[in-house]
Amino acid sequence: MGANLAYEWTAADYRRLARPNDLVTFELRVKQTDMRVSAEADLRAEALALVLEARAQVERRIARCPEFLRSLVPLDDDRSAPAVIAAMLDAARRANVGPMAAVAGAIAEFVGRGLGTKSPEVIVENGGDLYLSSRHRRELTLLAENTAFGGIRITVPPAPEGAGIATSAGTLGHSLSFGNADAVMVVAESGALADALATAIGNIVQREADLAPALARARSMGARAAVIVADGHLAAFGDIELTG
């Protein structure tokens, strides 16, 4: 699984590698949201409406509660919260992180589930975090650019009920991480939970010795599967297959 370390992977490379041939794929950009959707038909208009609604929920909550944006710890549950906010609050509590650690995954899932009535097969990628609903096995690429692993191909099982797949890195990207992992990927029951868990697990990985405890922590917090690349080593668990 070697790679040319001089090559710099980009979001365009990732999206080219991950494009499903059996679905219609399109992209949407709204402010900070940079999303790619693959579905059984061109549902661009429907997806855009869902993105705008999801973003509005988050923006209204931040305007009403600035701590929602800044907090690095869970906030109190709110039974009256709309869907995206409720998912973020719940995921933050389960992963013991701030709610914004779940924002990309929560929005991806909101869009994916909203499109599900018109397209049972749907994959939503939001800034590298995924929500997918599929009756088929799907192959993903986990990027660990500055390592000998490069782009790691991972096959995930069918998930017709939906699943979230999120990534975090302490050495790359713009997301806040207190760890030193080159890449952390988590599969969970929801987009928000996968996103929050990827952050939580990434925060505790500093070196090779942290890999086994981090995987155990991921499992205990509800992850279905996880892959961690750090300190020149790779560790994984769950119902996934590393294919190259």
Pairing of strands 150-156, 159-168: unpaired
- Residue predicted with more confidence, 179 or 101: 101
Residue 172: the pLDDT is 44
What 3-state DSSP class applies to 177? coil
What is the pLDDT confidence band of residue 171, given thresholds at 50, 70 and 90? Answer: very low
Q: What are phi and psi of 17, to 5 degrees?
A: -65, -30
pTM, to two decimals: 0.88
Instruction: Flag whether pLDDT at 175 surpasses 90.
Output: no
CA dist., res. 126 & res. 103, Å (int) = 10
CA dist., res. 231 & res. 234, Å (int) = 8
Beta bridge partners of 35: 28, 126
**Residues written for the chain:** 244
pLDDT (average), residues 165-169: 88
Superfamily designation of domain 11-242: ApbE-like domains (3.10.520.10)
- The per-residue pLDDT of the chain, averaged, comes to 88
Residue 177: the pLDDT is 54
Beta bridge partners of 152: 142
Predicted confidence (pLDDT) per residue in 31-83, tens digit? 999 999 999 999 999 999 999 999 999 999 999 999 999 999 999 999 999 99
Instruction: Flag whether pLDDT at 113 surpasses 50.
Output: yes
pLDDT (average), residues 116-140: 95
Give me the residue spans of the domains in the chain: 11-242
Residue of 215, 195, 189 lying closest to 204 (CA atoms): 215
